[in-house]
Structure 1
Amino acid sequence: MSASRTADHATRAAALPPAVMLVGVSGVMMFVPGAYGLASGESADARSFLAYGGLTLALAAMLALALAPGARRRPAGSYLATLVGAYALLPLVLALPFHQAVGNTRFLNAYLEMVSSLTTTGATLFPDPARLSGTEHLWRALVAWMGGFFALLAAVAIFAPLGIGGFEVLAPARAGRLERKGAIAEVADPAVRLRRFGVMLAPVYGALTLALWVGLLIAGDQPLVALCHAMSTLATSGISPVGGTTGAGAGLAGEALVLLFLVFALSRRSFTRERGTRWGRELRADPELRLGLALIGAVSAALFLRHWWGAVEVRSGQDVFEAARALWGGIFTTASFLTTTGFVSSGWEAAQNWSGLHTPGLLLLGLAVFGGGVATTAGGVKLLRLYALALHGRRELERLVHPNAVVGGGTISAGSGATEGKGEQYGVRAAYVAWLFFMLFALSIAALMLAFSLTGLDFETTLVLTIAGLTTTGPLLEVAESAPVALSGLGDAAKLIFAATMVLGRLEALAIVALASPDIWRR
């Protein structure tokens, strides 16, 4: 027993602090756009990224010496605080080569661009793709891709044991508190979990990105465009070097591939499965996936019928091809904004031209608020919380029909088959914590809109900025209103508030509240 404890202490002593690892990984990643710049003839950009890559690695080495870890086990709260610091401070390092490469922009703009990328928001101060070089576009997509993996890793290694980030619905009794029983919390501290799950998730995340990249290449995209779109799809950032899928060469085939891979943002079961169950059966029974597909189908059908009715009024005959494009545009764009990716289909504009009706931006705002699955790269409220509230609503309606039935103390299973009996049950307590998060989300919207309004912005702009930041859906700034919201035209105070909004949206208000809980700082 003592030998195992000694080995465990040695493993912890040899491990680098998470802050050092993040800075070191950032330095290594800077060599990727540097190498691309050399290969593509963008030598000035290449020199910036290669030089800052070396300086960042040197900084990581100095931090490793200064923050040499000891054998003492760190509390879980310190890792949650590290997440907050990473999203706020790491973009300062990531912005250095980008600022030097772009040249004629302020460092605050470069910092905001990197916060947007790291949080997988995808909002940009450079709406014209020609404003940036291919090397700079690659860096934005690469940072967002790293941010997506970072979000996945933090969800399973940090949020899950603390019962936040959507996991409070699965274990409502310990929402926001450290689990004190079981091997996961007692044997493996957050550092061990980060290493373990990092090794497990990295090959899967990379392989899926590679598969989508190859598929988009075969469909007709240019290599850089295909790579950026593949990374942006898996990270749900919506970053594109050509203004989205509408400017790509893959066409409808490329959109179909992107839509296929967006399923990984609808359910946490896409990357993980329970022991003793089949992945396919478990995924089919997953409430998040079923609710997400139901929302996509219902909203797409409603949009199609709306455009079809508009086309009936303005045309005497019907074009089957235009109707099919309109239906596809609704399905793809609905799924894209529900997963907080923000790609717009080429059929989206075709549907509006077909019927002469414009789709209200409030619908896209609502889809982004719903969000994707728990423990995915998607933002928003999350489908699992919606499912818990829907079950509670059904339970209350049943009590109206059978008022003497005893239902308050029981639970309703999340599904059937693979999920029954596995402990994933949603009772009154689960609905309570889901509703509590909704209240925190609503209060965050009110507070942030007030903060934006104090900078002199109008109501519509403050609403779009707040929803886009809290749901990490940057493309809403371009499509939610009749005129795009230009980040470059905001004042410095509004830009900093938007940066804080994106960080809050990535971490969620419940994680910030959990930092004040003394339970996660004790061992």
Structure 2
Amino acid sequence: MLARLAELPLLVVLLGLCGAISLVPALYALGANDHQHARDFLYSALILLVLTAMLGIATAAYTPRDPARSHLAALVLAYAVLPFALALPLTEALPDTTLTNAWFEMISAFTTTGASAYDPERLADSVHLWRATVGWFGGFLILLAAYAILAPLNLGGTEVSSGRPPGRSGIGSAQVGRTADPGQRLTRFALMLFPAYAALTVLLWCGLLILGERGISALLHAMGTLSTSGITGRTAFQASGAGVAGELLVFLCFAFALTRRALPGIRLTENRRPLLQDPELRLAALIILAVTLILFLRHWFVAGRADLTPTGQAFSALWGILFTVASFLTTTGYVSADWQSASLWSGIGTHGLILLGLAIIGGGTATTAGGVKLLRVYALLRHGERELEKIIHPSSIGRGGPEARRLRREGAQFAWVFFMLFATSIAAVLALLLLVGVDFEPALVLAIASLTTTGQLADVGGAQPILYGDLASPVKVILGIAMVVGRLETLALLVLVLPGRGRR
């Protein structure tokens, strides 16, 4: 059965999965005696499954010339086509909505951005579950694509560690064999990743339930954490009943968005070293602790508050800063319940610029997080460190062996190219938003929020919250396209567009 599905085009398989996951909110609505929404999701699931069966029969004999590029093209087309299919249940559940809003909602969830154009109170719990399920599915898709599609083509951050130009297959990837076939590789990694991804979600869900959070709210937050979509329901994350203990559980799960080595069941060559020696995890810890301490100590050294503060208030402020900083570094976007007191503690009117910078840095490679990625920042830091050493000691020899030298040279070069492309993307999206009438500050926040797939920056990134529902349709279309560019990364899109001859 799995071998037969692996022979179908990837886009057809993904369309069938969209129909299958539509049954999740249908079953929930049926159990909640919400028969109207249960029918909406069930009928939409049947339509998508029947359409998938027809397309599967029509494309059964399709054989691409270049399977690797074909899967990359299918991944790009998935973000162009599937949001319309995913919007079908939403338009049925919300008959008074527009197609633009439904498309924006689904592309935001599918790219794990988490931006919403609807008032949470307007949507039923089954609709919120659909948004979270789409975000959870989108998180698994990008996780699977990072291992099975992007890594063999030296994309998604792999080019930094391998030192090979993006778009070129790795050494030995052209060998004929079961593990080298892209379809079989997708199946193998899906069977390897999905059990760990689903089990961690269920464990976090159960933990939040035990700590007192409501069932559906706990499930939404568990899905939003593992997928880094930050999707929530009628109850905001900071108002959930789990308290500080629940935030601590979510904080521990941020590790899976900081380094791919934290995900259990994945056999990687770098797993031979201890987890605490992982460069991405160590850099993330340094950034989180540095920003937390700066904001926390500002209470005394900059804000000039020398009064004695109760220990409980100090701890609440410290935890609120620590959790929120880690949340936006992983591009999840959850805000701690103590974030408001932390803002008053530090004395900064708004922390928007800090949170924008953290989201731009992003999480680890081959994870569900967005942004530039920690490995690229680490490569640039190592390159800068080596250049300073050469200024002091021109005849010195770099340490660390061939892997470290490759990271400082070719890896840093590719990281800088990507950083420039990312900055150019921010400028391009910002210019488009300004052309359609958005003011500069909201346009900058929205551009960074969409390209880093951190939709919650609209609430906390500026001086005033930005409501996605109040934006015009052209603005939503621009932001939706920017979300796809930020999720797939500019290098992957360039590899697909540029000629592929001679890449191997």
Matching residue of 2:390 = 399
Aligned residues: 500
Q: What residue is the counterpart of 2:183 in the other structure?
A: 191
> Of the candidates 434, 440, 445, which is equivalent to residue 453 of structure 1?
434
Q: 1:417 corresponds to which residue?
A: none
Cα offset, 1:43, TM superposition: 1.9
**CA–CA distance in structure 1, aligned partners of residues 148 and 210 of structure 2:** 36
Question: What amino acid is the match of 2:204?
Answer: L
Alignment pair present for 1:500 and 2:481: yes
Query: Which residue number corresponds to residue 439 of structure 1?
Result: 420
> Sequence identity of aligned pairs in percent?
50
- Pick the aligned partner of 1:118 from 110, 116, 123: 110
**1:29–1:491: structure 2 CA closer, same or farther, 3 Å change rule?**
same
Aligned equivalent of 2:261: 269
Cα distance in structure 1, aligned partners of 2:412 and 2:357:
20
> Superposed, which structure 2 residues align to 1:22-421 within 5 Å?
22-70=14-62, 74-126=66-118, 128-179=119-170, 181-182=172-173, 188-271=180-263, 272-274=266-268, 278=272, 281-309=273-301, 313=305, 316-354=307-345, 357-407=348-398, 412=400
SS in structure 1 of the partner of residue 407 of structure 2: strand
Residues in 1 aligned to 2:171 and 2:267: alpha-carbon distance in whole angstroms = 23
The one of 509, 512, 515 equivalent to 2:490 is 509
Amino acid at match of 2:378: Y
How far apart in 2 are the matches of 1:355 and 1:284?
A: 30
What do the CA deviations read for 1:202-254 (whole angstroms, capped 9, x no partner)?
10100000110010001111110111100100000000114532121101111
Displacement of 1:164 after TM fit? 0.9
Is 2:473 the partner of 1:482? no
Question: Which amino acid counterpart does residue 327 of structure 1 have in structure 2?
Answer: L
Report the TM-score, using the length of structure 1 for normalisation. Answer: 0.91
Q: Distance in 1 between the 2:171 and 2:403 partners?
A: 20
The offset of 1:308, in angstroms, is 4.4
How much does 1:78 deviate?
Answer: 1.3
Worse-matched range after superposition: 73-82 or 507-516: 73-82
Q: C-alpha distance in 2, partners of 1:266/1:497? A: 28
Give the drift of 1:27: 0.7
Cα RMSD of the aligned pairs, angstroms, is 2.2
C-alpha distance in structure 1 between counterparts of 2:213 and 2:89, whole Å: 27
Deviation (angstroms), 1:102: 2.0
Question: Is contact 2:296–2:346 with CA below 8 Å preserved after alignment?
Answer: no
Structure 1 residues without counterparts, runs of 5 or longer: 1-9, 414-420
Q: Which amino acid aligns with 2:223?
A: M
Work out the CA distance in 2 between the residues paired with 1:341 and 1:320: 29
Separation in structure 2 between the aligned mates of residue 496 and residue 255 of structure 1, nearest angstrom: 34
Task: Check whether the contact 1:322–1:351 (CA below 8 A) recurs between aligned residues.
Answer: no
TM-score by length of 2: 0.94
Once the 2 structures are TM-superposed, how far is the Cα of residue 47 of structure 1 from its aligned partner? 1.2
Q: Displacement, 1:276?
A: 9.1
Contact 1:445–1:466, Cα closer than 8 Å, also in 2: yes
Do the aligned partners of 1:24 and 1:60 also contact (CA within 8 Å) in 2? yes
Contact 2:297 2:346 in 1 (8 A): no
- Decide whether the 8 Å contact of 1:161 with 1:184 is kept in 2: no
Contact 2:433 2:475 survives alignment (8 Å)? yes
Pairwise CA distance, 1:131:
1.6
Structure 2: how far apart are the matches of 1:119 and 1:276? 28
Q: Distance in 2 between matches of 1:423 and 1:398?
A: 15
Q: Give the Cα separation in 1 of the matches to 2:221 and 2:247.
A: 10
Native 8 Å contact 1:238 1:244 kept in 2: no
Cα 1:424/1:201, change in 2 over 3 Å: farther
1:341, 1:133 → 2: CA distance?
23
Determine the C-alpha separation between the residues in 2 that align with 1:284 and 1:320. Answer: 31
Distance in 2, Cα, partners of 1:434 & 1:401? 25
| Gaps in structure 2 of 5+ consecutive residues | none
Contact 2:6 2:187 in 1 (8 A): no
User: How far did 1:353 drift?
Assistant: 3.6
Task: Tell me, yes or no, if structure 1 residue 15 matches structure 2 residue 7.
Answer: yes
Contact 1:77–1:521, Cα closer than 8 Å, also in 2: no
Structure 1: distance between partners of 2:96 and 2:63: 47
In structure 2, C-alpha distance between the alignment counterparts of 1:208 and 1:183, rounded to whole Å: 34
